[in-house]
């Protein structure tokens, strides 16, 4: 496997024995005013704790005073680099909040490196992936997208960006300088495409692209 740096700090996972300090106000960009609006992280409850190192908490990012943004958020629910041991508890909690299980998910190794990225039923897919690679996978991330039609594009972007680390993905990866199939993005998208100086082949789906298109 290829190596990667140790994972960065995780917003929704903290060490249970460390005192909980009030986090500083974070900021979001207000599209209406062009200024930064204060953002506060509100922790609501603990979902999982292993009693030794990690706990998983549930919360909400609350916007401060000011005019609300013109456009809504991209994600409804997110969770990053949560321990796989918390998979059942997080799934049950999400069900209790009446949130959908559909979205984009990532399986990470013990160093936090992404090893598999996909979309669909988040927890069923993650559970199946963990059973297939129980020794390699340690953490999981998931993203419930507000507009479902954008799931495929977000999955494509993540896979393209992390291709050389994804040991267990076989589709959409582009390792090296080869660019991906632009048709993976939604109709109406403007694009710039690198072409060979001597001309390019007709824009058409190859065998691999045909398989990916209907994956």
For residue range 69-109, list pLDDT tens digits in order: 666 788 999 999 999 999 999 999 999 988 889 999 999 99
CA distances from 136 to 21, 76, 169 (A): 34, 29, 14
Decide if pLDDT at 154 tops 70: yes
In the prediction, which pLDDT does 118 show?
A: 94
In the prediction, which pLDDT does 199 show?
A: 56
- Rounded CA Rg of the chain: 20
Give the C-alpha separation, 107 to 114, whole Å.
6
Decide if pLDDT at 22 tops 50: no
Structure tokens at 94: 């999400």
Q: Which of 190, 206, 182, 184 is nearest to 119 (CA)?
A: 184
Share of the chain above pLDDT 90, in %: 40
Decide if pLDDT at 20 tops 70: no
pLDDT (tens digit, 9 = 90+) per residue, 125-141?
A: 999 999 999 999 999 99
In the prediction, which pLDDT does 66 show?
A: 66
CB environment 106-142: b (16+ within 10 A), e (fewer): bbbbeebbbbbbbbeebbebbbebbeeeeebbbbbbb
- Summary mean pLDDT of the chain: 77
Q: Please tell me which residue, 119 or 199, carries the higher pLDDT value.
A: 119
pLDDT (tens digit, 9 = 90+) per residue, 28-77?
A: 555 555 565 677 888 999 999 998 899 999 999 887 776 666 667 889 99
In the prediction, which pLDDT does 69 show?
A: 64
């Amino acid at each position: 496997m290829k190596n990667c740096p140790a994972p960065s700090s995780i917003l929704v996972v903290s060490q249970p024995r460390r005192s909980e300090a009030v986090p500083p106000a974070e900021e979001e960009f207000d599209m209406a005013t062009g200024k930064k609006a204060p953002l506060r992280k509100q922790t609501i409850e603990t979902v999982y704790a292993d009693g030794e190192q990690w706990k998983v908490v549930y919360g909400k990012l609350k916007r401060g005073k000011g005019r609300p943004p013109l456009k809504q958020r991209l994600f409804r629910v997110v969770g990053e680099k949560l321990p796989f041991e918390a998979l059942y508890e997080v799934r049950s909690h999400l069900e209790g909040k009446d949130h959908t299980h559909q979205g984009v998910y990532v399986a990470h190794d013990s160093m936090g490196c992404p090893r598999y990225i996909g979309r669909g039923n988040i927890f069923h897919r993650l559970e199946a992936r963990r059973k297939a690679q129980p020794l390699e996978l340690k953490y999981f991330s998931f993203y419930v997208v507000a507009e479902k039609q954008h799931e495929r594009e977000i999955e494509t972007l993540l896979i393209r960006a992390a291709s050389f680390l994804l040991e267990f993905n076989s589709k959409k990866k582009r390792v090296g300088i080869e660019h991906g199939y632009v048709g993976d993005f939604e109709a109406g998208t403007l694009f710039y495409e690198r072409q060979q100086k001597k001309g390019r082949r007709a824009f058409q789906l190859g065998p691999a692209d045909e398989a990916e298109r209907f994956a």
